[in-house]
Structure 1
Amino acid sequence: MGPRELGLPMQVASPEPGELPTEVTIWEVGARDGLQNEKEVVPVEVKLEFLQRMADAGLGVLEATSFVRPEWVPQLADAAELLAGLERAPGVRYPVLVPNARGLDRALESGVRDIAIFAAATETFTQRNLNRSLDEQFVMFDPVVQRAVGEGLAVRGYVSMCFGDPWEGAVPVEQVVSVGKRLLEMGCWQLSLGDTIGVATPGHVEALVRAFVAAGVGVDRLAVHFHDTYGQALANTYAAVRLGVSTVDSSAGGLGGCPYAKSATGNLATEDLVWMLDGLGLKHGVDLGKLVETSVWMAERLGRPSPSRVVKALGTAEASGS
């Protein structure tokens, strides 16, 4: 029995239906965040087919790659080659991560129209990841954002360590809001609030979203990015969506992991997210059957099963024909 025969989850009204968005944009990060920590380099041809398959499944935003230095992330050393070979599907956006001014140069050379920068909410992480202080990261990012906006690019701001830091522990909500507002004032059109080590819980998510709103930042400027280290990613996403957040980052098949938490099980799986959104009756535009087939296909190429529960359930049913 395949996905269509199994049917969709029952649609149940939210306890606060007035706050739910009618449609959720899925910001698919599998090709970049999902693959970047793979030990074996995935051939560019496989990455290109992965992106094409996800576009065919209806995903409208596909974060394609990152222009980081090759020695930092060998898996993404083929960024320029990948973008040169990418057949862009009509209506699909292909943002790339840009770490600095040189990365922006390369993105512009490749014809990119959407970029993202990767900031952090804690002092220790910025020192370890960017070799800069919390305040110095803005000095680095400001000319990048200003030039990108001047070139007509849309700039997204990732904020990592929004809920917990492996060196500093719990991160004060007001500290995250302060960092986020500075990125928006710099010119970012959206913030992706990242639970980098997967320690968030729904109450903490609600508190952070409400704090941004109280500070004058609308939920339309916010996205969420959860890791499933403690099994909370889907619950955390629901908490954010209940408050009106309508952009959710996820990774096809649950690809990816967090190098700062040894027990991390990866990003929120796009299939698990789609199953929940279907149950809430929210539009998203994704063909779940095609996406499951794509994740099974990629899992075969990586040599291990997908951690997504929905992929396991529907993929197994597809394979067995039962």
Structure 2
Amino acid sequence: MNYYAGMDIGGTNGRLKLKDGDGNILGEFTGPGCSINTDGYDKSRSRCRALVLPALKELELNPSDCMGICVAASGIDSPGYEKMCRDIFEEMGFKPDCIRAVNDCEVFLYLKEGPSMVVVSGTGSICYGIDAKRTIYRTGGWNHILSDEGSAFYLGMQTMRLAAEDLDERTKCPYLTRMFMEKSGLDTLEKIDLFVNEHLFDKSEIARFSMIACEAAKQGDSQAEGILKDCAEKIWKLIEDTARKAGWTRQSQVSLASGKEKPHLWLWGSVLVKNEIIRDEVVKRVRQVMPEIDVAVPETSALDLALMLAGKIR
């Protein structure tokens, strides 16, 4: 059977969706994710194969019969990483001319025909923009050591730092520290130090603490509120810098908005979709500085966009 496949591979979760030539959905599957730039080829290969091959076997499909597969994956930050991703799928048996590999953020630029931007804050963070000439601009996303500011990793790390400062008697944040110790089991500075040393390059392990700051802020913890505002400011900076690179001055925004279709800014990723405090702070900053731009969370997921793009591969 001929079919199409779309994949959304984030740092924490991977998703696969397939449809036949008539657009009928054949199945949807999930598994652990990966970031090819930080996890490397071997781990990424293992995760992709563990998600794709059992799914195809269950549906009695062959890789060679795929008419188009779009892999929207975290960490595809250069032609080199794109080639690594393509190699993984070619090795599985997918035909080279049927494979499209893009950064998982980039797919949202194809939601509209006109100029747009998308900022993603999930396990990692990144911002992309596309102008009227279809030139793409990118800011951030250079792994969690160099960037990923405002991401779940960043938020989780800031949460751990604040809890450590409290345990070190350098500050006071009772709600956050208590929640962190309860959820993590890390109730001493020594345990926190050991955990960070063991998991610094496994950003999903640290990113899972990101919601603690939000919960503590709702309990009135002022230090936790500060973390969330700092996170929102970092995300706004990604947007601002991408707009500058794309030449979206205030005057050009007015000009763009007077065209057939207003420019859009899409917000995506677990931090921006699930954390209303951070999302509202980001939206407030955007509307203050870029009022002519529409801001929204996409109704179409990255997975469905990848499947849509797969259907356009010829």
Q: Is the structural similarity TM-score above 0.5?
A: no
Report the structure, 1 or 2, having the larger strand content.
2
Report the structure, 1 or 2, having the larger helix content.
2
What TM-score, normalized to structure 1? 0.28
Q: Which has the larger radius of gyration?
A: 2
